[in-house]
Amino acid sequence: MWRSNVGGEILSKPLADAGVVIVNTSRGELAAFDAESGEERWRISSDVPNLTLRGDSSPASVSGGVFWGMGNGRLGAAFIENGNIIWQQPIASERGNRN
C-alpha cells in the first residue's frame, strides 16, 4: 500500500482509470497518482471562492478524459494521461446571503 500527500481533504470518491488514481481535493486541486507506486503524475489547481458547499464532485472518466466540477462553479475536462486541460466552462456562479 502506498501513501501520498494530496494536499487537502478528499470529500468525494476517487477515480481509478488508466493506471492512475485521481482525487479532487477541498483545496481546489485535481491530482493524479500512479496506481502502483503512489507517485504524483500531475496536478491541476483552480481558485476556491470564500463561499462553497462542503464537498467536492467525484471525477468521472470518458474516452481518456477526466471531468470534474470545481468549487468556483466551473466544469473542467483534462487528459488522464498528462493532465493537460481540454476545456473549462462556467456552469454556476457563487452567491451568498450578505445579511
Give residue 84's identity as a one-letter amino acid code: N
DSSP, collapsed to helix, strand or coil, labels residue 31 as: strand
Long-range contacts of 91-95 (CB under 8 A, 24+ apart): 94/49, 94/51, 94/52, 95/51
**Residue 75 — pLDDT band, cuts 50, 70, 90?**
very high
Q: Where do the domains of the chain lie, and which CATH numbers do they carry?
A: 15-47+54-90 (2.40.10.480)
The closest of 14, 21, 27 to 59, measured between CA atoms, is: 14
φ/ψ of residue 43, rounded to 5: -150, 135
2 pLDDT more than 80: no
**Predicted local confidence at residue 93, as pLDDT:** 74
The closest of 38, 37, 47 to 90, measured between CA atoms, is: 47
